Structures are given as structure tokens and as C-alpha cells.
Structure 1
Amino acid sequence: MKEKEILDHAMHTFIPLLQGSGHWECQENKEMDAYIDLEIPQGHLKFNVEVKQEVREHIFRSLKELNDKYPDFLLVAYRIYPKYRDLLREMRINYLEANGNAFIQTKDHFILIDKFPTLKGAEVETNRAFTKTGLKVFFKLLIDDHNLNINQRELADQAGVALGNIPLVLKGLKTAGLLVNKNKFSYQWVNKEKAIIQWINGYRTTLKNTLYQGRYRLPRDKDWKKVDLPTEKTRWGGESGADLLTNYLRPEKFILFTDLKTNDFIKGTRLMPDPTGEVEVFETFWKLGNEKEGCAPPLLVYADLIINGDKRSLEIAKLIDDRYL
């Protein structure tokens, strides 16, 4: 397996477990393979990274030398057997395994995850549940458990994707350990809370930017509730959606989802484009369900509050979680 695939797989598995974000890039210093930057609720972490397919006895000497040379050293490997994870911890060598197991100890942080079985096989194909299309299907399954029991053609129609994507997405969710067969034709979540966290991470890193339409300014009186919503699929998300759901938040940032093209959106809402405007506009990517009038589905509102990450947003996100999720 190529180093890039190992890094992608490890980061994609690990970041949702910490409810954080992060990225990696190739390392110009040829001695090291890559550089990882992580933002987690407990703070910011940066690492110089060595990537390995598998950890065996013969590489421990070189790992120790790198660990001694680089205080911010991190080993990322596709597969680390339990006895080698124990040895790495004894040697105080930070590691991240592609299945999500990790040991990271710094001056200010301690992370230990040691509960996932060692991955089998040398190759990991792209998980289709976390592509742009897959995340739309994943979303439909999360917002209504009834969708776990409908036929694949109906699910494809509900998600607005081609029928051929559905079995690949379902397979991806099962591979990720999020979904299991209830019977031959229906499914159930293994851990829905974990599934929501992983969807939010995928939405943040893969889907959201592809939906972005631009920024607009509010009317002069700044009263967002007076903005006309000209179609059923033009709906408030983020902080404004949270206020509609809880009546407990005065929005400072505004998100609006719409199915309209730019000219029709301006004509219908009377919002004007402004690169410094208060309102971010995104494309609506779901079919309407039983969500509150004028408001995006609670899961999507919750996701954008989590992405905001400030104390105020997280407090309201918890309210929405308790009431709706």
C-alpha cells in the first residue's frame, strides 16, 4: 500500500474519534515521509511522520533513532500487532495505526486508544461512504432510521444519487464498523453516536466546500427572520437554524441552504452578494422531510455548530442533540 493511502486511511479513522480536524502533507525533508497537523478539543498537535506498512522487530532501531532526533516524531502504520504496540509504548514512541489505535504522549497531551483489532490484508480501497455522493446517502440514513429499511432504489431517490452508488455506500458503512445487517433487506447502527461524529467529519472535510455558493449581506436592519425564503428548499442552518430549533441563541454567523441559482436566489431573497457579508450560502443537498419550517434538518444544524467549535455553539449543539438527535 502506498504511503498516501495509509495516511489517508489513518487520518480518516482517527480524527472523528477525537472530534477534531487535521491534515497531512508530504515532507520536504527526505528523511521523514510527511507532516501532520491536528486540531483537537484539547489543543493543537504537530508531528513529523514516518509511514510504514507494517511494524516488525527489524525497524525498531531506526524508529528509536528517529524518535530521539525528532521530539515531535509520530509513526503512522497500516498494521501494528499488539505486542509491538506494547513495545512502542514502553519506548515512548508515538504511533497511529490505520484502524484508529493510537499512543500520543507530549508535554501537554496524552492519547491512548487501544481497542480496535489489527487490520487484515494489505490494501484498503477508498471507502465510498465518505465520498461526496456517499455522504449524501449516509446523511439520509442518519436523519431517519426508517431509511435503513427501505429498498435501495427508494434510498437512491431520497438521497438524489444514482442507484449504483447505494450498495457501495452500504458496504463502506459496514466496513467502517458503523452499520450491520438486521436481516437480508435492512440494517441497524452499531453506534449511531459514532456514526454521527464520522459523518460530521466527512461533511466538514469532503462535502461542505463543494456546496459553497458565496457570501451575502443581510438587510440594513440585520433582521434575518425577515428574509424571504422563496422555495421550500431555501432553509436556515448553523446558528440561525439553531435559534429556530431552540429559541435560545442570538445568531452571529448565518448559514442559508438553497436550491436556487444565483440570480433567482438574489431575486427571491433580496440578499446581495458581498464577500464580507454575514450570510454564507450553500447548495441544498437533501430532500425535504419532517424538519421545522424554514430550518435545515437538526443533524445538519448540529454539524455546523460542532464545526464552529466555540463554547457557545457547543452548548447549543448539546441542546439540539438532547432534543432532536
Structure 2
Amino acid sequence: MKTEEIIEHTLLNIIPLLQSEGNWEPHAQKELDAYITLHFPDGDIQFDAEVKQEVRENILRTIQDLNRTYPNFLLVAYRIYPKYRLLFQEMGINYLEANGNAFIRKNEKLILIDKFPTIKDKREETNRAFTKTGLRVLFQLLVDNKNLNTNQRELAEQAGVALGNIPLVLKGLKTAGLLVNKNKFGYQWTNKEEAIEQWINGYRTNLKPTLFQGKYRLPKDKNWREINLPNEKTRWGGEPGADLLTNYLRPEKFILFTDLRKNEFIKDTRLMPDPNGEIEVYETFWETRNEKEGCAPPLLVYADLIINGDKRSIETAEIIYDRFIQEL
């Protein structure tokens, strides 16, 4: 759905509920989409609006940055899932949702409408770049720009996928508008930040669930830093990975990646399976290179913090993005 269609659809549903009038026009700043003015009996409120088809973890950082930059910021979205509505309310981010939900705190006015179900998603035709196989390949491209110019056989080996998948994934990335040909043998990003956002969204829904190995518990006499990591492909992700990278976040949720089979993993780490355990264990899916000892790649740590979606995770994710991911 186009930007103007989302705005018109949203205002059509919201205006009667607010008992006001409203209008919009394109925004003068390229990073925003529209000026939206709501006319109330006690005065008008004009917003600097960003319009999104759907709110997912991968755009939370962008929304938060815009909210800091523009005092009259407003998010307009066709679809906002309940947990994100609650998060925006906590962060004080004004929003309008196309179904009629709204949160506005401005000019001593508080409006909260939170009673309409999220509009259901209509699945689009599958792009091979965002299947579980394609996401493995996309990850290798994102963590090392040199892979944009490597031969397809080497890229397939790094991603752990069959060679025949590579041209299909590259075609999918070009179709999505994320890659263009640089020369006969290489590619370049059109918008790497957007590629990262789309990878995180795909990782959350299509890849991460397939990697889950089970839950384990920490020994009562040890903290997570004392757990033996038996090889280079057993590494902390999520919150403990973030603590290793930033020394900023005290972990409450634990993610560990490994390529070991269950019996080997238990023997070497001394962790025991427990359906209520604190540690979620996932299969390693990347090639180890130039990473901080004991820590998954920063992009993967960042992704799991974004997926957490709580305020402290988002704050730490911003630190990791600025220190480690912008330079990728």
C-alpha cells in the first residue's frame, strides 16, 4: 500500500473517533513523509509524520531516532502489533494505526484508543532471499562486504548452503531492490541499512525458529561468564553477547549458539537440559572470523536485542549499531 493510501485510510478511520478534522500534505524533509494536522476545538496540532506499512523490530531504532529529532513526531502505520503499541506508549512516541488505534500525548492532550484488532497480514509471494536458506546467504553478505565480490562457490560454503541457491538468492535481493550489479562479477548495496532491517525481520520469522536446539539451565554455583565454551563455534548471542561487546547490559535472557551435537554440548559445557532453563541454545549458522572471543557477530547480537523489543535492549542495540555495525 502506498504512503498516501495509508494516510488516507488511517485518517478516514481516526477522524470520527477523535471528533476532529484532519488533513495532510507531503513533508519538506526527505527523511519524513508528511505533515499531518489534526483540528480540535481548542486548537490545531501539526505533526511531522513517518508512514510505514508495518511496524517490526527492525525499524524501532529508526522510529526512536526520528522521535528524538522531531518534537512533533507522529508514526502512521497500516499495521502495529500490540506489543509495539505498548512500547511506543512507554517511550512516549505518538502513533496512528490504520484500524483506528491511536496514542497522542501533545499540548496537554492525551488520546489513547487501543481496542481494535491488528489488520491481518496478506502474505506476498516468497522471495528466495528471505527463506531460511536465503537468510544464511544474506547474513554472510551483510557481515563482510568482500563477499559481494567473492565467487558463488565460496559464498555457498561460508553460508553452508547448496551452490544452486546462490543465484536465486542474489536474484531475490535484486528484485527486492537491495542489490545492483557493480560489474560483471560483483554487486553493491543500494541501501544496506534497509537490507539489515529486512534480514532481521526474516531472521525472526523464518530462520531463528529453525535453529532452536532447546533450553538449558545455569548451574547454581556459576554465572554465565564461567561457562566453558568448548570451540570457536560456541558463542554467546543476545543479551550476554551484548554485555561482552559493550559492558552495558546486565543479561536477564541468555542465548547461546553452538555447532555441537546435544551430547557433546552437555559434556563440554556442563549445562543440563531444562524446559524452564534460562539459556536458549541455537545452532550456529555462520563462519567464524574476526569476532570478539566468546561472542556471536555483532549483527546477530544486535538482531536479537531488536527482537527482544524492550527499552533496555533497544538502548543497547543502538550502542552496538553505532560501534560495530555502521562500519560493516
TM range (shorter): 0.5 to 0.7
Show CA shifts across 1:216-247 (max 9, x none): 01121341111001111000000000011111
Show CA shifts across 1:46-95 (max 9, x none): xxxxxxxxxxxxxxxxxxxxxxxxxxxxxxxxxxxxxxxxxxxxxxxxxx
Question: Relative to structure 1, is the Cα distance of residues 215 and 180 closer, same or farther in structure 2, using a 3 angstrom cutoff?
Answer: same
Structure 1: which 5+ runs fail to align? 1-12, 22-35, 45-102, 111-123
Rounded to whole Å, the distance in 1 between the matches of 2:260 and 2:276 is 21
The alignment-based identity, stated in percent, is 70
Rounded to whole Å, the distance in 2 between the matches of 1:251 and 1:226 is 14
Question: Relative to structure 1, is the Cα distance of residues 234 and 18 closer, same or farther in structure 2, using a 3 angstrom cutoff?
Answer: closer
Please tell me whether the aligned partners of residues 16 and 197 of structure 1 are also in contact (alpha carbons under 8 angstroms): no
Indicate the residue corresponding to 1:134 in structure 2.
Answer: 134
Please tell me whether the aligned partners of residues 20 and 40 of structure 1 are also in contact (alpha carbons under 8 angstroms): no
Rounded to whole Å, the distance in 1 between the matches of 2:216 and 2:274 is 5
Q: Does residue 43 of structure 1 match 2:37?
A: no
Please tell me whether the aligned partners of residues 130 and 202 of structure 1 are also in contact (alpha carbons under 8 angstroms): yes
The within-5 A match list for 1:1-325 is 14-15=53-54, 19=58, 38-39=80-81, 42-43=84-85, 104=98, 106-108=100-102, 125-325=125-325
Deviation at 1:109, TM superposition (A): 6.2
Rounded to whole Å, the distance in 1 between the matches of 2:188 and 2:83 is 30
State TM-score, norm by structure 2. Answer: 0.65
- SS of residue paired to 2:248: coil
Please tell me whether the aligned partners of residues 214 and 281 of structure 2 are also in contact (alpha carbons under 8 angstroms): yes
- SS of residue paired to 1:314: helix
Deviation at 1:150, TM superposition (A): 0.5
Rounded to whole Å, the distance in 2 between the matches of 1:172 and 1:16 is 22
Superposition RMSD in Å: 2.4
Question: Relative to structure 1, is the Cα distance of residues 233 and 221 closer, same or farther in structure 2, using a 3 angstrom cutoff?
Answer: same
Please tell me whether the aligned partners of residues 20 and 38 of structure 1 are also in contact (alpha carbons under 8 angstroms): no
Residue identity opposite 2:216 in structure 1: Y
Deviation at 1:106, TM superposition (A): 2.1
- SS of residue paired to 2:102: coil
Deviation at 1:249, TM superposition (A): 1.3
Rounded to whole Å, the distance in 1 between the matches of 2:83 and 2:177 is 24
